[in-house]
């Protein structure tokens, strides 16, 4: 009992590091032992799938490389795991504590610590699809940063004239765009930034397309689009690099990816989501004919208002001039009105004509119309301004001041200019400098023509 350990100790002491097979256990350096255990583990297990729950996950970033350390465990056991750079960059989602996963791993050993560990090559979420998980994670992350907030959304112009489109040159979405915009609104120009819209590297190309279009002068908005496909096909539009590019875009971005039921991350970050490429095309190729008709309608309405206003004015002026026999002035006014009226009438017709001959040389027609209408209008405006001055100068108050009275039929009826229009018992309103009187005709007879003659031309008196 006393000599035992010593005996064993001396027994085991080797002459050389290799040891002698028959004489008992070999003596190894720790380093060598660990290396052998590692090799044994690797050879014996190779690569295995391990199912369990992650815990203690830590990302280590240094020099642009990222490694992940942590533990995979179940109810009664746990094992250390590590992911090297290549495996980390292949991950589509972030590893989190508590996540249930399937890990494809080489069983190995960390020699410096003598610790058994799994070198993980690939991780799949257990129970939920990898893409669904990645989608949810990115969605939560960006939502947390406020990238989906309504306040961030910029209005997309209602009437864009130049639209940048990020899509594949071969995409059906691009054909839709060209056909729809040609039919609905040939005034909208389209600039395509070609990018692959599915597969490896597509997300980076889409992001770059958005950035490039932002450097172009005169663009009104950007559309990123592709037609329908599998979740995998649409995936680039769920990648962070695209989401970041959309968020960083100075120009408003419309995202139109897949079918109506497909919602991508880019849809959520974009200023406007349209359900399909066609819907996006219709949104940017606003209906030109409708708006052309609306412009004409506005023009016609303006014309009607002005005609009515001028006619109203002429009636007011006419009432007065007829009453006092200012015939020359009346004729001048009527001529001016007629000319103005014609000028106004011509305008909408000219415009309608312009539309009908769309495609021909519209600019020269426009120029002719412009010089005709504007100079006529300016002349009319000067004349009317002059007329207004005259009318003010000849306001009835000033005439009544001189002792005249005006007789009219009651309740705004016509002015009475001749006694032959009257008979006894007819009611009249007589306007004086101050107030008016309601009177009834007693009798009629010849008047004092000489009094009217002697007033001469009041207009020249006023001037």
Partner 1 sequence: MMAEKKSKGEIPETFEERIERLEQIVAELEAGEAPLESSLGLFEEGIRLARACQEQIEAARTRVEVLLEEAEEGQTVTEPLEEADEE
Rg (the chain; Cα; Å): 47
96: Cβ–Cβ under 8 A, 6 or more apart, which residues? 54, 57
**96 or 367: whose CB is closer to partner 1?**
367
> By the 8 A CB rule, do 224 and 210 touch?
yes
Rule CB under 8 A: is residue 366 a binding residue for partner 1? yes
Rule CB under 8 A: is residue 313 a binding residue for partner 1? yes
Candidate segments 71-79, 110-118, 186-194, 323-331, binder of partner 1 by CB under 8 A: 186-194
Rule CB under 8 A: is residue 363 a binding residue for partner 1? yes
Quickly list DSSP for 186-238.
TT-EEEEEE---SSTTHHHHHHHHHHHHTTSTT--EEEEEE----HHHHGGGG
**352 or 402: whose CB is closer to partner 1?**
352
Burial 307-342 (b: 16+ CB within 10 A, else e): eeebeebbeebbbbbebbebeebbebbeebbeebbe
Instruction: Candidates 35, 80, 153, 162: give the one binding partner 1 (CB under 8 A).
Output: 162
Shortest distance (Å) from residue 463 CB to partner 1: 20
Q: The tokens 């039919």 sit on which residue? A: 183
- Long-range Cβ pairs for the range 420-428 (8 Å, 24+): 420/444
Shortest distance (Å) from residue 267 CB to partner 1: 23
Rule CB under 8 A: is residue 190 a binding residue for partner 1? yes
417: Cβ–Cβ under 8 A, 6 or more apart, which residues? 322, 323
Rounded CA separation 248/207 (Å): 10
**88 or 210: whose CB is closer to partner 1?**
210
Per the document, the length of the chain is: 463
**23 or 170: whose CB is closer to partner 1?**
170
Applying CB under 8 A, what is the total number of residues that bind partner 1? 62
Rule CB under 8 A: is residue 175 a binding residue for partner 1? yes
Rule CB under 8 A: is residue 397 a binding residue for partner 1? no
Shortest distance (Å) from residue 379 CB to partner 1: 12
**59 or 159: whose CB is closer to partner 1?**
159
> By the 8 A CB rule, do 188 and 213 touch?
no
Q: Which helix (H) or strand (E) holds 374?
A: helix 362-393
Instruction: Candidates 189, 322, 346, 409: give the one binding partner 1 (CB under 8 A).
Output: 189
Q: How far is CA 386 from the centre of its chain?
A: 49
Rounded CA separation 420/174 (Å): 83
Shortest distance (Å) from residue 457 CB to partner 1: 25
Phi and psi based region of residue 325 (left: phi greater than 0; alpha: psi -120 to 50; beta: remaining): left
Q: Residues 373 to 392: which contact partner 1 by CB under 8 A?
A: 373-374, 377-378, 380-381, 384-385, 388
Rule CB under 8 A: is residue 103 a binding residue for partner 1? no
Shortest distance (Å) from residue 361 CB to partner 1: 11
Candidate segments 71-79, 97-105, 107-115, 357-365, binder of partner 1 by CB under 8 A: 357-365
Candidate segments 3-11, 66-74, 181-189, 395-403, binder of partner 1 by CB under 8 A: 181-189
Rule CB under 8 A: is residue 157 a binding residue for partner 1? yes
Rounded CA separation 213/215 (Å): 5
Shortest distance (Å) from residue 237 CB to partner 1: 20
- Annotate each residue in 275-304 with x if it binds partner 1 (CB under 8 A) or - if it does not, as one string: -------------x--xx-xxx-xx-xx--
Q: In this structure, what DSSP letter does residue 333 have? A: H
Q: Tell me the two tokens of residue 182.
A: 């040609």
Rule CB under 8 A: is residue 358 a binding residue for partner 1? yes
CB atoms < 10 A from the CB of 394, how many? 20
Shortest distance (Å) from residue 183 CB to partner 1: 9
Rounded CA separation 316/334 (Å): 12
Instruction: Candidates 83, 142, 210, 213: give the one binding partner 1 (CB under 8 A).
Output: 213
Instruction: Candidates 321, 351, 399, 407: give the one binding partner 1 (CB under 8 A).
Output: 351
Tell me how many helices (H) and strands (E) the chain has. 16, 13
Shortest distance (Å) from residue 328 CB to partner 1: 22
Q: The tokens 């009319």 sit on which residue? A: 380
452: Cβ–Cβ under 8 A, 6 or more apart, which residues? 325
Q: Tell me the two tokens of residue 64.
A: 């642009």
Instruction: Candidates 28, 187, 372, 415: give the one binding partner 1 (CB under 8 A).
Output: 187
**104 or 292: whose CB is closer to partner 1?**
292
Binding site for partner 1 (CB under 8 A): 157-159, 161-162, 164, 169, 174-175, 177-179, 181-182, 185-194, 209, 212-213, 215-216, 218, 288, 291-292, 294-296, 298-299, 301-302, 305-306, 309-310, 313, 347, 351, 354, 358, 362-363, 366, 370, 373-374, 377-378, 380-381, 384-385, 388
């Amino acid at each position: 009992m006393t000599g035992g350990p010593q005996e064993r100790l001396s027994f085991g002491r080797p002459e050389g590091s290799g040891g002698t097979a028959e004489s008992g256990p070999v003596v190894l350096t720790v380093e060598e032992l660990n290396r052998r255990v590692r090799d044994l583990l690797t050879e014996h297990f190779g690569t295995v799938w391990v199912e369990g729950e992650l815990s203690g996950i830590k990302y280590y970033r240094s020099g642009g490389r990222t490694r992940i350390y942590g533990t995979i465990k179940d109810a009664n056991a746990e094992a250390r795991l590590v992911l090297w750079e290549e495996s980390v960059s292949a991950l589509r989602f972030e590893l989190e504590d508590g996540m249930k996963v399937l890990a494809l791993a080489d069983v190995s050993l960390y020699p410096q610590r003598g610790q058994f560990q799994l070198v993980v090559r690939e991780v799949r979420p257990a129970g939920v699809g990898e893409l669904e998980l990645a989608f949810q994670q990115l969605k939560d992350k960006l939502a947390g940063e406020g990238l989906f907030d309504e306040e961030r959304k910029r209005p997309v112009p209602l009437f864009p004239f130049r639209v940048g489109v990020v899509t594949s040159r071969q995409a059906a979405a691009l054909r839709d765009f060209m056909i729809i915009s040609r039919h609905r609104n040939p005034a909208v120009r389209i600039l395509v930034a070609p990018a692959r819209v599915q597969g490896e590297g597509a997300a980076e190309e889409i992001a770059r397309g958005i950035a490039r279009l932002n450097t172009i002068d005169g663009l009104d908005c950007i559309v990123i689009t592709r037609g329908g496909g599998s979740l995998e096909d649409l995936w680039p539009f769920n990648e962070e690099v695209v989401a970041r590019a959309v968020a960083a875009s100075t120009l408003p971005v419309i995202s139109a990816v897949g079918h109506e039921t497909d919602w991508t991350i880019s849809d959520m970050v974009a200023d406007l989501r349209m359900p399909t490429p066609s819907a996006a095309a219709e949104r940017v190729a606003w209906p030109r004919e409708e708006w052309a008709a609306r412009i004409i309608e506005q023009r016609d309405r303006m014309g009607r208002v002005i005609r009515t206003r001028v006619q109203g004015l002429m009636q007011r002026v006419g009432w007065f001039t007829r009453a006092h026999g200012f015939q020359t002035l009346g004729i001048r006014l009527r001529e001016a009105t007629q000319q103005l009226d014609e000028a106004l009438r011509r305008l909408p017709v000219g415009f309608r004509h312009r539309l009908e001959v769309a495609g021909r040389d519209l600019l020269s027609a426009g120029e002719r119309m412009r010089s005709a209408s504007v100079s006529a209008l300016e002349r009319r405006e000067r004349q009317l301004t002059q007329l207004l001055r005259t009318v003010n100068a000849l306001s009835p108050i000033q005439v009544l001041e001189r002792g005249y009275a005006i007789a009219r039929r009651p309740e705004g009826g016509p002015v009475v200019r001749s006694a032959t229009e009257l008979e006894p018992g007819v009611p009249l309103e007589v306007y004086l400098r101050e107030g008016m009187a309601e009177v009834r005709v007693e009798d009629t007879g010849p008047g004092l023509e000489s009094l009217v003659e002697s007033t001469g031309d009041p207009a020249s008196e006023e001037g």
